[in-house]
């Protein structure tokens, strides 16, 4: 046999060997698969019955999780939400209105000339004390080609000159205010209340005055006059307040912040303003209720009234000494379990 024949026989022998190896491997794989998959309706050899497995799952294996479910499966634990609550109180609220106004001398009047002309001179300065009839200024009514005596302008009341409004040499008429005179010993503050608040204020109500010149101080005052009509343009009502006692540090021209205390609301159920929730046109609060040894939130529809600072009146829906949640209630629902911290029920 030549060399080419020998090479051909070698190749055929190698191919036959590979085919035999592949056939043996396939047979072994088939046997392994048959051993792993038992026949329908039968349990694998040595495997416990299905009922035994279920029972073991309920009882839990040694060192395993207690019966029911693996950790992370099954029923979840109840979430307890921390809240702050406070008992409702019966108390008197003192509503108030805040406005601003200028400190003015009472009985302030403007001084006018009796005739027009050139202002010849001004005899007073702001701050001067004058008597009734004292000369304030003089007007020269002369015109080119004619000469007239000076016409004196006199103060119509006794008091203090609070302002001089013109300068010598200016031309004035009988309708030009020359100066203002008032009684600075008797000061008052005028404020304009908007129409919505105009019916809440009455003569005799108490007030407090704060001034930038007196930081940190509050001066007692009283409403002494309420205009019987509203201004048709601004739709506001003028209210006049006077200090209860004269304070030399207060001067005309200062700006005053005024707080007027309106009619007190006695015997009202009061809760923190933050406790009241308004959602979908419904106003409600959450109260803390004890149920089955737990504290839960219960939704209560209420009718809210006047708010004063951080407190609000509850007209309907709550009684005294009920524990109302005022912090942490935004994410609550009716019946949620809660843990009260900062209980202010006492």
At 153-166, the pLDDT tens digits run 999 999 999 899 99
Higher-confidence position of 141 and 37: 141
- 146: which 2 tokens? 């004619």
Whole-angstrom Cα Rg for the chain = 48
Give the model's pLDDT for residue 105: 86
Yes or no: say if 200 and 141 are a contact pair by the CB < 8 Å rule.
no
Cα–Cα distance measured from residue 181 to residue 164, given in angstroms and rounded to the nearest whole number: 9
- 191: which 2 tokens? 């404020």
Q: Which of 327, 279, 329 is nearest to 301 (CA)?
A: 279
Region of 138 please: left (phi>0), alpha (psi -120 to 50) or beta.
beta
- 296: which 2 tokens? 């839960």
At 38-72, the pLDDT tens digits run 444 444 444 444 444 434 444 444 444 444 444 44
- Domains of the chain with CATH codes: 81-93+267-344 (2.40.420.20), 97-101+186-265 (2.40.30.170), 109-183 (2.40.50.100)
- 253: which 2 tokens? 């021209």
Give the model's pLDDT for residue 53: 44
Cα–Cα distance measured from residue 99 to residue 83, given in angstroms and rounded to the nearest whole number: 37
- 287: which 2 tokens? 């109260």
pTM: 0.62
Cα–Cα distance measured from residue 223 to residue 204, given in angstroms and rounded to the nearest whole number: 5
Strands 338-344 and 81-87: parallel
Secondary structure of residue 6 in the 3-state scheme:
helix
- 139: which 2 tokens? 């007007």
At 88-111, the pLDDT tens digits run 999 999 999 999 999 988 888 999
Instruction: Give the angle 84-342-96 at the CA atoms, nearest 5°.
Output: 70
Secondary structure of residue 146 in the 3-state scheme:
coil
DSSP letter at 154? E
Residue 36 has pLDDT above 70, yes or no: no
């Amino acid at each position: 046999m030549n060399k080419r024949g020998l090479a051909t026989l070698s190749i055929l022998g190698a191919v036959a060997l590979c085919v035999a190896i592949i056939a043996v491997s396939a047979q072994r794989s088939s046997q392994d698969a048959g051993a792993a998959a038992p026949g329908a309706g039968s349990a694998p050899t040595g495997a416990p019955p299905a009922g035994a497995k279920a029972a073991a799952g309920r009882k839990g294996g040694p060192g395993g999780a207690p019966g029911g479910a693996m950790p992370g499966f099954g029923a979840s634990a109840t979430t307890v939400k921390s809240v702050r609550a406070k008992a409702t109180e019966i108390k008197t609220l003192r509503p108030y209105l805040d406005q601003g106004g200028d400190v003015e001398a009472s009985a302030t009047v403007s001084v006018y000339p009796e005739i027009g002309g050139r202002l010849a001179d001004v005899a007073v300065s702001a701050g001067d004390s004058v008597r009734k009839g004292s000369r304030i200024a003089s007007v020269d009514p002369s015109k080119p080609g004619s000469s007239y005596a000076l016409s004196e302008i006199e103060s119509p009341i006794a008091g203090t000159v609070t302002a001089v409004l013109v300068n010598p040499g200016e031309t004035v008429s009988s309708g030009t205010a020359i100066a203002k005179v008032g009684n600075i010993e008797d000061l008052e503050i005028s404020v304009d209340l908007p129409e919505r608040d105009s019916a809440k204020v009455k003569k005799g109500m108490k007030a407090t005055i704060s001034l930038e010149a007196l930081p940190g101080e509050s001066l007692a005052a009283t409403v002494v006059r309420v205009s019987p009509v509203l201004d048709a343009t601004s739709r506001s009502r003028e209210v006049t307040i006077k200090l209860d006692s004269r304070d030399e540090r207060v001067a005309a021209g200062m700006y005053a912040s005024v707080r007027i205390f309106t009619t007190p609301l006695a015997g009202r159920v009061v809760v923190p303003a933050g406790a009241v929730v308004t959602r979908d046109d419904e106003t409600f609060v959450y109260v803390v209720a004890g149920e089955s040894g737990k504290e839960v939130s219960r939704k209560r529809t209420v009718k809210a009234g006047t708010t004063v600072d951080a407190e609000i009146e509850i007209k309907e829906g709550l009684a005294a000494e009920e524990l109302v949640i005022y912090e942490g209630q935004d994410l609550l629902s009716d019946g949620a379990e809660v843990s009260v911290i900062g209980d202010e029920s006492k």
